[in-house]
Amino acid sequence: NAGVTQTPKFQVLKTGQSMTLQCAQDMNHNSMYWYRQDPGMGLRLIYYSASEGTTDKGEVPNGYNVSRLNKREFSLRLESAAPSQTSVYFCASGRRGPPTNEQFFGPGTRLTVL
């Protein structure tokens, strides 16, 4: 099993450009998540999808949109990139429900917005 995979690994954008980060999981998990990680910070939740067909905002959703394409895939889109979105983006999938919220992370996408 590949676990959680993300593409691309690195990306450089100019301010105002758009792009989509791709994520896929092969663990048959219902829940998927997008986090961002900034220097000296923990991970912060951008959006999540508790199940296929549903998406919800997390702590820092502004400037992003998501699509849960099917049970395996969950994409994150930046419509008009800004320098403040320079970050490392992690996708995760997991099993949710009392008493656990076990999540498994992908290798990350390093995004620089100039």
Partner 1 sequence: GENVEQHPSTLSVQEGDSAVIKCTYSDSASNYFPWYKQELGKGPQLIIDIRSNVGEKKDQRIAVTLNKTAKHFSLHITETQPEDSAVYFCAECNSGGGADGLTFGKGTHLIIQP
Largest pairwise CA distance in the chain: 43
Smallest separation, CB 68 to partner 1 (Å): 13
Smallest separation, CB 85 to partner 1 (Å): 19
Tokens of 22: 């791709």
Is the CB of 7 or the CB of 18 nearer to partner 1? 7
Convert residues 29-68 into a mask of x (bound to partner 1 by CB under 8 A) and - (unbound).
Answer: --x-x-x----xxxxxx--x-x-----x-xx---------
Q: How open is the CA angle 102-24-86, to the nearest 5 degrees? A: 85
Is the CB of 17 or the CB of 95 nearer to partner 1? 95
Measured distance CA(98)–CA(80) in Å, rounded: 38
Q: Which residues, in sequence order, are CB contacts of 100 under 8 Å at separation 6+?
A: none
SS3 85: helix
> What part of residues 64-103 is at the interface with partner 1 (CB under 8 A)?
90, 96-103
Please tell me whether residue 105 binds partner 1 under the rule CB under 8 A: yes
Specify the residue for token string 């917005």: 113
Residues that bind partner 1 (CB under 8 A): 4, 31, 33, 35, 40-45, 48, 50, 56, 58-59, 90, 96-108
